[in-house]
Amino acid sequence: MKQSQTLIPTLREIPADAEVRSHQLLLKAGFIRQNASGVYSYMPLGKRVLQKVETIVREEMDQAGAVELLMPALQQAELWQESGRWYTYGPELMRVKDRHERDFALGATHEEVITSLVRDEVKSYKRLPLTLYQIQTKFRDEKRPRFGLLRGREFVMKDAYSFHSSHGSLDEVYQKLFTAYNNVFTRCGLNFRAVIADSGAMGGKDTHEFMVLSDVGEDTIAYSDSSNYAANIEMAPVNPTYSKSEEALKEIEKVETQNQKTIAEVSEFLNVDAEKCIKTLVFQVDDKNVLVLVRGDHEVNDTKLKNLFEASSVELASPEKTKEIVGCSVGSLGPIGVKNIEVVADFAVEAIVNGVCGANEEHFHYINVNPERDFTINKYEDLRFIQEGDSSPDGEGSIVFAKGIEVGHVFKLGTRYSEAMNALYLDENGKSQPMIMGCYGIGVSRTVAAVAEQYNDENGFTWPANIAPYHLHIIAVNMKDQVQAELSEMLYKDLTKNRFEVLLDDRGERPGVKFADSDLIGLPIRITVGKKASDGIVELKIRKTGEMFEVHQNELLEKIT
């Protein structure tokens, strides 16, 4: 591509409102432009980087046996009502009406659409397992869109969904996609960790997040300095005896289910807002009770919670030892009667926040909420969140904390959606069963920003070759010099023919401007065609290391391959 023919609107200054490095540089180097808050145009260079990430994602997903499709971004409200999420998703879901006043959502995620699609098309165990994915624009009305592509309101996601007739099959595909994700982020050149995550409001159990280590990350992860143990601190255990064991999970499965309406009604009543995002830890105390610990580092709920706990009879676990614990309470699984412990836990926390613990309203009643009166926990004194320097729960090494950017998320959904939406298949005995599901997301545009965050220096980007918008940047120092102009053009054609992606700066700008732009754009190798062009000599510069050497044009190809 010739720079005179494309659009790379580099800026001299960093825009004042861009706080983090990736956002600053993506704007300054002309990769993106903001449209509305959290809404961006990808300029030609930005689009190429996005496409590189998409290609890597596609290759790895295809390799793992997933099949690409494309679903609508405009989704009927009825589907979201069926799953119950129309009522629980909160204001993050963008809702629109058509000319007939019918409700629609702009796709924030596609569990509902894919579940209805597969429900209609797949009827027999013979067609399972099936893993489908798409790469598509998603919409989420984030409360705080920020950091450029890191948290947008319109962004590109790869989302995949798998359907199974057995848990074993789900485990297998989950493992395959876990490996695919590792490959994707490794090929993107990222320094990342796969961490145990909180299954939160999604419903389900096993779940891992892929976290890129970065100071601008909005999550905190705890990992062992000498093993593979890594967890989002939302999930890092307080005390291994209370963590969610296999037995506890089995207990959870035994809990009675009532109909989905109740979840919707309850959440509507409690005005559940996913964005409150209280950090919680949930533990099975016995077959009736769950213990909910609330991490008090959330701006909105901090005071609310403190006031509530001060005003209530719920006692804090030993205050000196448990500085981070603002409060704890127990919500009974009984009255709500839903199967999913996280949903119950969310409600329990909401109940605490909204002060309706033990309220007498039908269906909104929590019993066994008073720790001293209604139950006792033997190790109460020992309860605390994991801290830096603790020994790792797997016994190997000690715990280190780091900030992480969530670039991917894999999730065993179980039958959360298939049961709610009647996605059934006939098993080998002709018996109707709900499909077992998994879902798997990658923030494609966020990954671009994460790479940008990890690959830059004071002069601009230092893109890894796999992700760089082009491989080579040819700078014709003086376009008025015919020898330089001709050699540049010749190398451009030759290298392009040899399958390099080449950007040729053929603009009539001053050399200083060209070099500064070249460093800013940050292609891996710069080829400068200057005064020595008449001897067939050009200068190579490795952007990342700053190394420079002169090369004869005849040896160029060999040198850069």
Contacting residues toward ligand ATP, per CB under 6 A: 109, 140, 142, 151-152, 155, 157, 406-409, 441, 443, 445-446
What φ, ψ does residue 476 adopt, rounded to 5°?
A: -85, 105
Sign of CA dihedral 300, 327, 220, 139: negative
Quick one: 150 or 556, whose CB is closer to ligand ATP?
150
Residues in contact with Mg ion, counted by CB under 5 A, come to a total of 2
Quick one: 151 or 412, whose CB is closer to ligand ATP?
151
Q: How far apart are CA 44 and CA 66, in angstroms?
A: 29
Quick one: 37 or 387, whose CB is closer to ligand ATP?
37
Q: Which stretch binds Mg ion (CB under 5 A): 76-84, 123-131, 388-396, 400-408?
A: 400-408
Q: Which stretch binds Mg ion (CB under 5 A): 164-172, 306-314, 321-329, 407-415?
A: 407-415
As measured in angstroms, the least distance from the Cβ of 525 to Mg ion is 36
The region that residue 182 occupies, defined by phi over 0 for left and psi between -120 and 50 for alpha, beta otherwise, is alpha
Q: Are 367 and 344 in contact (CB under 8 A)?
A: no
As measured in angstroms, the least distance from the Cβ of 269 to ligand ATP is 24
For 345, the 3-state DSSP assignment is helix
Residue 506's binding partner out of ligand ATP, Mg ion, none, with CB under 5 to 8 Å set by partner kind: none
Residue by residue, DSSP assigns 331-394 as: EESTTT--S-HHHHHHHHHHHHHHT-TT--STT----S--HHHH---TTGGG-----TTSBPTT
Q: Are 540 and 527 in contact (CB under 8 A)?
A: yes
As measured in angstroms, the least distance from the Cβ of 449 to ligand ATP is 8
Quick one: 93 or 317, whose CB is closer to ligand ATP?
93
Quick one: 267 or 445, whose CB is closer to ligand ATP?
445
Quick one: 110 or 244, whose CB is closer to ligand ATP?
110
Element spanning 48, H or E? helix 44-63
Q: Which of 146, 409, 412, 541 binds Mg ion (CB under 5 A)?
A: 409
Q: Which stretch binds Mg ion (CB under 5 A): 152-160, 186-194, 321-329, 405-413?
A: 405-413
Sign of CA dihedral 407, 412, 417, 423: positive
As measured in angstroms, the least distance from the Cβ of 343 to ligand ATP is 16
Could you say which DSSP state residue 462 is in?
A: -
Give the amino acid at 516: A
Q: Are 149 and 35 in contact (CB under 8 A)?
A: no
Beta carbons within 10 angstroms of residue 167's beta carbon: 12
Q: Residue 372 contacts by C-beta under 8 Å, 6 or more apart in sequence?
A: 313, 315
As measured in angstroms, the least distance from the Cβ of 319 to Mg ion is 30
Residue with the shortest CB distance to ligand ATP: 443
Quick one: 178 or 269, whose CB is closer to ligand ATP?
178
As measured in angstroms, the least distance from the Cβ of 159 to ligand ATP is 7
As measured in angstroms, the least distance from the Cβ of 409 to Mg ion is 4
Two structure tokens written together for 149: 């592509």
Residue 443's binding partner out of ligand ATP, Mg ion, none, with CB under 5 to 8 Å set by partner kind: ligand ATP
Which chain residues interact with Mg ion by CB under 5 A? 406, 409
